[in-house]
Amino acid sequence: MSRPKPPRDPRLRPRRLSWKGFFAVFGVLLVLASGQAMIQPAFPDKELAAVGYGLAMASYWAVVSLVFCLVVAWQRRLVFDRPMRELSRAAGRVAGGDFTVRLTPAHDREEWDYVDVMFDDFNTMAAELRSIEAVKDDFIADVSHEVKTPLAVIANYADSLRHAERLTPEQLREYSETIAKATRRLDSLVANILKLNKLENERIAPVPHWFDLARQLSGAAMAFADAFDAKGITLTATLPDEVRVRADEGLLEIVWQNLLANAVKFTPQGGDVVLALVSAPDAVRVTVQDSGRGMPPAVQAHIFDKFYQADPPAGGADGNGLGLALARRAALMAGASISVDSSPGLGATFTVALPHRAEQP
């Protein structure tokens, strides 16, 4: 059985032999062939001068062969060797960590051949590697900053506790609680980084199965009951009796936990949070709406970026900027989409849409 022919790259513009090229080759071969006719008159008696004639013809065709090999070598150097050397040097620079190197195709885009396409792909690869390197550097810088803050708090207060005899019981309790709070923040940061790393590297494979989404949302809301009560937040949950979906329950649990934690964090004292589940004709939609201060468009554009936090955080809320990044990645892996709708002073509404293909027939 023959293998299917791969589709041709649309960027390729194959050049066929032109009439100009044909006549150039024809002219060169004609000139070379005429040289043999010029040798023959020098040997009128071919029988008497057979050795000399043979040597002359052999020498002539040796020269023709040499010229032909030189032309082929020049063509190979121009078409293959030179581009490959250029590509090899550029690849070496990339291997050394220089992602700014770029190659220039030899032809206009309308005349690209395979080498030009390869150069273009190399440039794209180098640009992507440069982008990845920048993201990695930013990630390391952000992690270092986020880790440094709680560690500094722990170190300062632990140093103060070395002189416990000078502290009152209230101060001892305050310092201990501050250290415990910083430790929990550091633990949450490390756990979220590891979890996000597993999601982004797809080490967690989605395992879809049928389950009641309404029941899962109810359980997630109950888990935050104490947090809502502590801030006097009124939670309104509009959930049907049962909505069965086929998805990865664990991944969606990550989504609800982070969206509800975000709602608690940014809803002011005595505010409102609305959790709703609606089965529409095209998808099952879950919305989490808070009555916080809302977000301008500039903040919304980066709300799902890792380590991004509005400046200053609403209400001085603590966080590490990973919760919504986790929620977005988990939602995408579960086959859902997540979006935000917000305006300054009007709170924020996060919507998670699970396509109807996940519904049970």
Average pLDDT over residues 102-124: 82
Q: What predicted TM-score, i.e. pTM, was given to this entire model?
A: 0.54
pLDDT (0 to 100) of residue 285: 92
Q: Is the pLDDT of residue 18 over 70?
A: no
pLDDT (0 to 100) of residue 358: 45
Is pLDDT larger for residue 1 or for residue 273?
A: 273
Average pLDDT over residues 246-261: 87
pLDDT (0 to 100) of residue 315: 43
List the single range of 51-65, 172-186, 293-307, 308-322 with lowest mean pLDDT: 308-322
- In CATH terms, the fold of domain 209-358 is Heat Shock Protein 90 (3.30.565)
Average pLDDT over residues 47-67: 69
- Structural domain boundaries in the chain: 19-98, 209-358
Average pLDDT over residues 230-259: 88
Is pLDDT larger for residue 29 or for residue 247?
A: 247
On average, the pLDDT of the chain sits at: 78
pLDDT (0 to 100) of residue 361: 46
H, E, C per residue of the chain: CCCCCCCCCCCCCCCCCCHHHHHHHHHHHHHHHHHHHHHHHHCCCCCCCHHHHHHHHHHHHHHHHHHHHHHHHHHHHHHHHHHHHHHHHHHHHHHCCCCCCCCCCCCCHHHCCHHHHHHHHHHHHHHHHHHHHHHHHHHHHHHHHHHHHHHHHHHHHHHHHCCHHHCCHHHHHHHHHHHHHHHHHHHHHHHHHHHHHHHHCCCCCCCCEEEEHHHHHHHHHHHCHHHHHHCCCEEEEECCCCCEEEECHHHHHHHHHHHHHHHHHHCCCCCEEEEEEEECCCEEEEEEEECCCCCCHHHHCCCCCCCCCCCCCHHHCCCCCCHHHHHHHHHHHCCCEEEEEECCCCCEEEEEEEEHHHECC
pLDDT (0 to 100) of residue 290: 92
Q: Is the pLDDT of residue 209 over 80?
A: yes
pLDDT (0 to 100) of residue 350: 93
Tell me the percentage of the chain whose pLDDT exceeds 70. Answer: 74
Q: Is the pLDDT of residue 352 over 90?
A: yes
Write the pLDDT tens digit of every residue in 64-90. Answer: 778 778 877 777 777 778 888 888 888
Write the pLDDT tens digit of every residue in 118-163. Answer: 888 888 888 888 877 776 666 666 666 667 767 888 888 888 888 7
Q: Is the pLDDT of residue 11 over 80?
A: no
Write the pLDDT tens digit of every residue in 259-317. Answer: 998 899 889 999 999 999 998 888 899 999 998 888 888 888 878 877 666 654 444 44
pLDDT (0 to 100) of residue 48: 46
